[in-house]
């Protein structure tokens, strides 16, 4: 059974840093495309970042240069390092597996339950 | 960047049909996927590749995509279908970015 479990959320001051983790089971993270998606309180879904199985990474403009997606193959875990956090980064952060074909990403087939990040002084 | 536009809300009586649109420039040339999200829960995939249904999703959920509009149709709506719905594509023309629609709240009257 595929499972994704996020952790690492919490309250952080503006300008601070936080690292989110997403522990996967039932499949191999390094063989898949993996993404982070966030949702601000009362708002819609916003794609944040993706890492391809080959290691290529891509980011939304809103987080480029501040967030870094990575993975630890030995732990089968996905990470999101978030630096220079702003109030507008406050959201529930979901990790999700991305179904892909012929090197192209398509849809998010499995999601974690999410972890809340609150940026406030 | 690529933009997907959805109506903020759709209201439908039980047993009737709800149609949720997702507008985007030449969206018919892309693969569109749809998610259902209930309060306090993670999104759930309900339609992928325009019109395919994952296992466990009722046949009442269907999708289509042509021109500048993709549509999610929910037939014989039930109270349990009340949720937010999001369309999604991948914009390879813009540095490999995921794009979600603005979201539609479906209310069952």
pLDDT tens column, A65-120: 999 999 999 999 999 999 999 999 999 999 999 999 988 889 999 999 999 999 99
Collapsing DSSP to helix, strand or coil, A30 comes out as helix
Q: How far apart are CA B49 and CA B57, in angstroms?
A: 14
pLDDT in tens, B15-24: 999 999 999 9
Distance between B96 CA and the closest CA of chain A, angstroms: 7
Q: What is the mean pLDDT of residues A42-71?
A: 96
What pLDDT score was predicted for residue B94? 64
Distance between B107 CA and the closest CA of chain A, angstroms: 16
Kindly list the residues of chain B whose beta carbon comes within 8 Å of any beta carbon in chain A: 1, 31, 33, 35, 37, 42-45, 48-49, 54, 84, 86, 88, 90, 92, 95-103
Mean of the per-residue pLDDT values of chain A? 97
Q: Which two tokens stand for residue A101?
A: 């074909």
CB B80 within 8 A of CB B61: no
Closest CA to B102 of B20, B39, B40, B15: B20
- HSE on the CB side for A5, CA within 13 Å? 8
Q: Which two tokens stand for residue A79?
A: 């990470």
């Amino acid at each position: 059974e595929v499972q994704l479990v996020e952790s690492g959320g919490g309250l952080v001051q503006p300008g601070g840093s936080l690292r989110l983790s997403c522990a996967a089971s039932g499949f191999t993270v390094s063989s898949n495309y993996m993404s982070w998606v966030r949702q601000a309180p009362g708002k819609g879904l916003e794609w944040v970042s993706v890492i391809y199985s080959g290691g290529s990474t891509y980011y939304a403009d809103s987080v480029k240069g501040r967030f870094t997606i990575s993975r630890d193959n030995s732990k089968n875990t996905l990470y999101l390092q978030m630096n220079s956090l702003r109030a507008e980064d406050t959201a529930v952060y979901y990790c999700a597996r991305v179904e892909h074909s012929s090197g192209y990403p398509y849809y998010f087939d499995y999601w974690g339950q999410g972890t809340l990040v609150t940026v406030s002084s | 960047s690529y933009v997907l536009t959805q109506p903020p809300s759709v209201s439908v009586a039980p047993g009737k049909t709800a149609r949720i649109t997702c507008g985007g420039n030449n969206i018919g040339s892309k693969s569109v996927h749809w998610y259902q999200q209930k309060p306090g829960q993670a999104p759930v995939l309900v339609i992928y590749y325009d019109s395919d249904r994952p296992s466990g999703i009722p046949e009442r959920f269907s999708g289509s995509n042509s021109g500048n509009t993709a549509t999610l149709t929910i037939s014989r709506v039930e109270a349990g279908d009340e949720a937010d719905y999001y369309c999604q594509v991948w914009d390879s023309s813009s540095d490999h970015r995921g794009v979600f629609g603005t979201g539609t709240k479906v209310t069952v009257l």
